[in-house]
Structure 1
Amino acid sequence: MRIDLSGRTALVTGSTQGIGRAIAVALADAGARVAINGRTAATVEDVVAELRAESDGRELIAASGDVTTEDGAAEVLAATGPVDILVNNLGVFGAEEPLEISDAEWRRYFDVNVLAAVRLIRATLPGMIERGWGRVLNIASDSAIVIPAEMIHYGMSKTALLAVSRGFAKAAAGSGVTVNSVLAGPTHTGGVENFVYELVDRSLPWDEAQREFMKEHRPQSLLQRLIEPEEIANMVAYLASPLASATTGAAVRVDGGYVDSIVP
């Protein structure tokens, strides 16, 4: 299969590092014009320069701004222009004792992980429908289905994102626009490394700490290792392409078999 996104503009939120950065690279390498997003303009500019240096053929836009606010989202969309592919990747996570999660934290997780995505979908979906083509991809998590005891608030927000995806897919029915969520499994990023060391002995070397984390806290993984960001990005690139035209309203798993279910 050849994934060709030439002539398409993509916005990937939270794309200066981790999964978001890998997704941005995959889309750019498939020919899309990709907006790199982060809160800090200097960081975004640095990442754009780094990615351009890696490959001259990448068409990249610096689109800094805090999409968890209305003004920030407007700033990002102004820099990006009409969006054909929206990837809502931005998210926060962290371990916390269930009975100690404050009202403020519940709201913060909803605002960042759910409402920011809704805000951008609301702003970009009408244009996609009018043009007769578009892709909305919400990066969810296995935690949407297998709620972790140590971060219920995170699981809640990702479950809500599945509902958001399904609902907006119905809003775009018959238009040529697809809306899907991607259930990412435990993935190797800098933030996850910190999270792993919150739960296992910090003196352990990384490879040993990773194995211990998967054994103790994610034993149902069939992959039995953390997923690499590029593996998530490969699925996103496919779903963003014309090749995935019949997939919409779905929760597509890239979870290493973590969710113990035959049907996604």
Structure 2
Amino acid sequence: MLIDLTGKSALVTGSTNGIGAAIAAGLARAGARVAVNGRTRESVGEAVAQLSVRAPGAAFMAAPGDISTEEGARQVLQALPRTDILVNNLGVFGARTALEIDDDEWRRYFEVNVLAAIRMIRSYLPGMEERGWGRILNIASDSALVIPAEMIHYGVSKTGLLAVSRGFAKDAAGTGVTVNSVIAGPTHTGGVEDLIHELVGTELPWDEAQREFMRSYRPQSLIQRLIEPDEIANMIVYLSSPLASATTGGAIRVDGGYVDSILP
């Protein structure tokens, strides 16, 4: 398949590293002009420089701002008043015993993992509908369907994001705009490395720690390894393209077979 996003603009939230950076690079390689987002101007500037090396000749721009706040979202909108593709990738996660999660932490997970995505959709969807074309993609997680005992607040927030995607897809019905969730499985990022060492110990070498994590905490995985960020990005690039015009309101899995279901 030839995926050509030339002439399209894209915003990837939380794209200074990890999955977000891989998505930004993938969209840029396909020809899109990609806005890179992070909390600070410095972190975004560094990320743009690194991404320009990963995707030579691609077009990147900086769109700093903490979109979990209204003021941060306004900063992003000032930098990028319109976009054709919105990828809501920003998210937080971490292990915590269920009864130790207090109200403030529950609110934080909702603000970052759910409300920030709603805020950006609300900002960009009307323009997409007016122009008759757009792609909105919300990065969900296997944890939305298989709630982890060690981080139920994260799982609950990602379950909410699935509902957000389905609901806004209905709002965009018949407009040429598609809205989908992508259910990412356990993925190899710096944050996940930290989580794995927290759960299985820091004394094990990385390869052994990863295998122990998959055996003990994610034994359902059919690929029996962490997913690489580029593997998530490949699906996002396809769903962002005209080729995916009939896919909307869905929860598309890139989970390595982790979720034991024939349906999302």
TM-score, normalized by length of structure 2?
0.99
Q: Is contact 1:85-1:240 (8 Å) kept?
A: yes
**Percent identity (aligned):** 72
Determine the structure 1 residue equivalent to 2:191.
191
Secondary structure at 2:2's aligned position in 1?
coil
Q: Is contact 2:28-2:55 (8 Å) kept?
A: no
**Structure 2 matches for 1:224-239, cutoff 5 A?**
224-239=224-239
CA–CA separation in structure 1 for the residues paired with 2:262 and 2:9:
35
Determine the structure 2 residue equivalent to 1:222.
222
Determine the structure 2 residue equivalent to 1:14.
14
Aligned residues: 264
Q: Which amino acid aligns with 1:165?
A: S
**Structure 2 matches for 1:80-95, cutoff 5 A?**
80-95=80-95
Secondary structure at 1:35's aligned position in 2?
strand
User: C-alpha displacement at 1:74, in angstroms?
Assistant: 1.1
Secondary structure at 1:247's aligned position in 2?
coil
Secondary structure at 2:74's aligned position in 1?
helix
Between 1:53-62 and 1:63-72, the stretch displaced more is: 53-62
Determine the structure 1 residue equivalent to 2:200.
200
Gaps of 5+ in 1: none
Secondary structure at 1:183's aligned position in 2?
strand
CA–CA separation in structure 1 for the residues paired with 2:47 and 2:232:
19
Give CA-to-partner distance per residue, 1:2-44, whole Å, 9 cap, x none: 1111111100000000000000000000000000000010111
Do residues 150 (structure 1) and 150 (structure 2) align?
yes
CA RMSD of aligned residues (A): 0.7
Secondary structure at 2:158's aligned position in 1?
helix
Q: Is contact 1:61-1:80 (8 Å) kept?
A: no
Determine the structure 2 residue equivalent to 1:68.
68
User: C-alpha displacement at 1:50, in angstroms?
Assistant: 1.9
Give CA-to-partner distance per residue, 1:50-98, whole Å, 9 cap, x none: 2223443210010111001111111112112311100000000000010
Do residues 3 (structure 1) and 3 (structure 2) align?
yes
Determine the structure 2 residue equivalent to 1:78.
78
Determine the structure 2 residue equivalent to 1:254.
254
Between 1:73-82 and 1:131-140, the stretch displaced more is: 73-82
Between 1:103-112 and 1:53-62, the stretch displaced more is: 53-62
Q: Is contact 2:92-2:113 (8 Å) kept?
A: yes
Q: Which amino acid aligns with 2:144?
A: A
CA–CA separation in structure 1 for the residues paired with 2:15 and 2:217:
27
Q: Which amino acid aligns with 1:84?
A: D
